[in-house]
């Protein structure tokens, strides 16, 4: 039985063309800075985002960690959302490894921290307080593309108060494809968003479909600081060109096809509408969140798994579309969910929440 894996877009398999690019990649030693495939990828993503430099990382968690520690020193703090990945789902790395204090703030359903709350959280220059140095935002947020108005207002506030800005752009290309103006390329849209931030992390191993890797993009000085931190964090890479080639191929061939994933999200959300006991809470870009009545989410997950469909369900259920899922797989998932509720219908929606990447 074929498995329809909707747990995350991190489960994608390299395409045949991507594997060929990996096999053909020229390699060197990236710690010495002479892996040509890594250097080409870093130059390419820096150009796309309009930054002076970029640094290839094994993971988005390491990329965000290096960014925060490159912006902040011991005793500094960064302002971040209460449920943001850089605060909630990265093991407390900034505090553990860098003695950088997070200042988490509440967020609304679109992931936005109130501007007045950000303003109030910035500490005065006083020895009693940590030094507020950085504002971290995330785009997309649980599949929601952040609005231009909010990104502009939040980053302008940070600049006016002397803070640096960092974007966790794990799914930035999804946001760009979803919000590009008519006739505008997705890469041009990426650049528009990136221009608002001093640094950003982008992930190649989610919707773009590469097997491994993220990149931190920023000024030359910030990237040099981050390179040292990456080495301390165990992220110094050797013949990493085989991985960089996959990411480079993804940038060249897999950006525009993200629209296909977004269309499958709407197909899934539409097919789940109207089921007694299930509420579609959010369906944006390539992620669908649903709530299940009477705490029956675990039972639904077991039922789906028996039918060959995988999803996640820490609090509420999450389905993620990607390049290894097609319309037939989505229709199978819809049929399995409908079968579950047809066998044992319920009437009310249960608790809501969100899970990690």
Task: Calculate Rg over the CA atoms of the chain.
Answer: 21
Domain limits, the chain: 14-253, 257-343
pLDDT of residue 313: 86
DSSP of 25-65: -----GGGT--HHHHHHHHHHHHHHT-SEEEEES-HHHHHH
pLDDT reported for residue 343 = 86
Task: Give 257-343's CATH code, choosing from 3.40.47.10, 3.90.1150.10, 3.40.250.10, 2.20.25.90.
Answer: 3.90.1150.10
Cα–Cα distance, 278 to 291 (Å, whole number) = 6
Compute the average pLDDT of residues 185-195. Answer: 98
Residue range 148-183, pLDDT digits in tens = 999 999 999 999 999 999 999 999 999 999 999 999
Q: How far is 162 from 79, CA to CA, in rounded Å?
A: 13
2-15 burial, b for 16+ CB within 10 Å, e for fewer?
eebbbebbbbbebb
Residue bearing tokens 């505008």: 184
| Strand partners of residue 56 | 215
Q: Tokens for 289?
A: 């969140």
Which band of pLDDT confidence, cut at 50, 70 and 90, is reported for residue 282?
A: confident
Residue-level pLDDT at 354 = 41
Please give the CATH topology (third level) of the domain spanning 14-253.
3.40.640
When the pLDDT of each residue in the chain is averaged and rounded to a whole number, the result is: 94
Whether 179 and 150 have beta carbons less than 8 Å apart is answered as no
**Is the bond preceding residue 304 a cis peptide, omega within 30 degrees?**
no
pLDDT: which is higher, 30 or 344: 30
Tokens representing 220 are 């030359």
In this model, does residue 265 exceed pLDDT 70? Answer: yes
Contacts of 72 (CB under 8 A, 6+ apart): 78, 94, 98, 100, 133, 134
> With bands split at pLDDT 50, 70 and 90, how would you rate the model's confidence at 251?
very high
pLDDT band at 315 (very low <50, low <70, confident <90, very high): low
């Amino acid at each position: 039985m074929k498995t329809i894996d909707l747990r995350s877009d991190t489960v994608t398999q390299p395409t045949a063309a991507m594997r060929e690019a990996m096999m053909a990649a020229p390699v060197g030693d990236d710690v010495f800075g002479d892996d040509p495939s890594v250097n080409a990828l870093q130059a390419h993503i820096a150009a796309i985002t309009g930054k002076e430099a970029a640094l290839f990382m094994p993971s988005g968690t390491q990329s965000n960690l290096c960014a925060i520690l490159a912006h902040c020193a011991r005793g500094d703090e960064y302002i971040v959302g209460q449920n943001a990945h850089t605060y909630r789902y990265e093991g407390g790395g900034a505090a553990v490894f860098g003695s950088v204090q997070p200042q988490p703030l509440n967020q609304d359903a679109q992931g936005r921290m109130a501007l007045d709350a950000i303003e109030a959280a910035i500490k005065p220059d006083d020895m009693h307080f940590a030094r507020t140095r950085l504002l971290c935002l995330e785009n997309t947020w649980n599949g929601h593309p952040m609005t231009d108005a909010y990104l502009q207002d939040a980053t302008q506030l940070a600049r006016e108060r002397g803070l640096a800005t960092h974007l966790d752009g794990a799914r930035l290309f999804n946001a760009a494809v979803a919000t590009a103006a008519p006739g505008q390329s997705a890469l041009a849209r990426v650049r528009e968003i990136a221009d608002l931030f001093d640094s950003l992390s982008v992930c190649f191993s989610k919707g773009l479909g590469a097997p491994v890797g993220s990149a931190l993009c920023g000024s030359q000085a910030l990237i040099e600081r981050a390179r040292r931190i990456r080495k301390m964090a165990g992220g110094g890479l050797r013949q990493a060109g085989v991985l960089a080639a996959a990411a480079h191929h993804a940038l060249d061939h897999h950006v525009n096809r993200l629209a296909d994933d977004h269309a499958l999200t709407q197909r899934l959300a539409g097919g789940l509408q109207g089921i007694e006991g299930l509420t579609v809470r959010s369906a944006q870009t390539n992620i669908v969140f649903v709530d299940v009545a009477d705490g029956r989410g675990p039972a639904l997950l077991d039922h789906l798994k028996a039918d060959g469909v995988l999803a996640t369900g820490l609090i509420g259920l999450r389905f993620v579309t990607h390049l290894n899922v097609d319309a037939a797989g989505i229709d199978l998932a819809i049929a399995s969910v409908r079968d579950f509720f047809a066998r044992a219908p319920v009437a009310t929606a249960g608790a809501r929440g969100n899970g990690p990447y």
